Amino acid sequence: MDKLIEPSISIEEFYIELIENKRNNEKNNFLKNRLSKIKDVLISEEKNYIDLAKTSTLHTIVEHTEIQIPKSSDVVTKDEMESLYTQNLVSSPNSGDRGREVYDYLKSLALDKMCPYCSITKARTLDHYLPKAKFPTFAVTPVNLVPCCRDCNSEKDASFSNAANEMFIHPYYDDVNNFIWLVAIVEENVWPISFKYNVKISYNQNSLLSNRIAHQYELLDLNSTFSDKANRQFRYRLKSIVDNYNSGDIEAEKFSY
């Protein structure tokens, strides 16, 4: 679970460019006009999001399915914000679109290009930390978009809990690098040697953080991910040792350590 640098770009810097190519007619209830009118709402909510994230209280944000346009009875719907993300932020690779530039920049924040949720697989997509289906206000908000692998994105899906102890670790705001939370165990009476992993709940550290890690660990099935990786690496190393021993190259094996 890697700590990432917080995005240096805000929604204010690219939002108007993002909606520039949106159609605006009676058929879509003048979508572009409505999107332009929520700009200040998105800017304000982004600031609120950051304040809450820094105090680990994002679970207090209320789920919603639309964004109210100020001084109007009109709204921007969940589906319209989801479309803005999929059509205008993701867009096509090498398209040169401003949205795609932001998308690629956010993916580049992954440490060593690896998913910060599992630290095992390459980050090839973006996850909505607060799911866009339940929080459309943050569908294109940079600090809500986390580079991650497809497996973690799929497992996490639109899951969300308003319980503080079930919030995912937020890679931009939560730092567990100096937090002891993972225990490796060698399975007894199993050959080839195999490993399994468990979360160490430590009440001498931060119990809330421990429980959040445990919830994320279980939801993403990280035990299987970590165990499979460790077992493959160990068995490859074991085969190398045996091959060197059988070939008589014992000295080379000694120096390999």
Per-residue pLDDT tens for 156-211? 887 787 888 889 889 999 988 777 777 777 877 777 777 777 777 665 556 788 88
Is the predicted pLDDT of residue 97 greater than 80, yes or no?
Answer: yes
The pLDDT score that the predictor gives to residue 243 is 62
Residue 249, pLDDT score: 58
Tens-digit pLDDT profile for residues 40-94: 999 999 999 999 999 999 999 999 999 999 999 999 999 999 999 999 999 777 7
pLDDT at 18: 93
Q: What are the structural domain ranges in the chain?
A: 1-152, 178-257
**3-state SS class at 76:** strand
Q: What is the pLDDT of residue 155?
A: 87
Tokens of 144: 């809500």
In this prediction, residues 139-167 reach a mean pLDDT of: 90
Tokens of 250: 């014992």
**CA–CA dist 58, 174 (Å, integer):** 12
Helices 222-246 and 207-219: crossing angle, nearest 10°?
Answer: 70
Which residues are bridge partners to 185 per DSSP?
196
What value does the mean pLDDT of the chain take? 85
Contact between residue 132 and residue 82 where contact means Cβ atoms under 8 Å apart: yes
Is pLDDT at 39 greater than 80 in this prediction?
yes
In this predicted structure, what is the pLDDT of residue 116? 93
Distance CA 257, CA 246 (A): 18
Structure tokens at 32: 């572009």
For 51-55, 124-128, 152-156, which range has the lowest pLDDT when averaged over its residues?
A: 152-156
The single-letter DSSP state of residue 112 is G
List Cβ<8 Å contacts ≥24 apart for 227-234. Answer: 227/194, 227/195, 227/196, 227/197, 229/120, 230/184, 230/195, 230/197, 231/192, 231/194, 231/195, 234/192, 234/193, 234/195
Comparing 97-106, 174-183, 212-221, 238-247, the range with the smallest average pLDDT is 238-247
What pLDDT is recorded for position 203?
Answer: 57
pLDDT at 185: 78
The pLDDT of residue 32 is: 94
Q: What is the pLDDT of residue 179?
A: 75
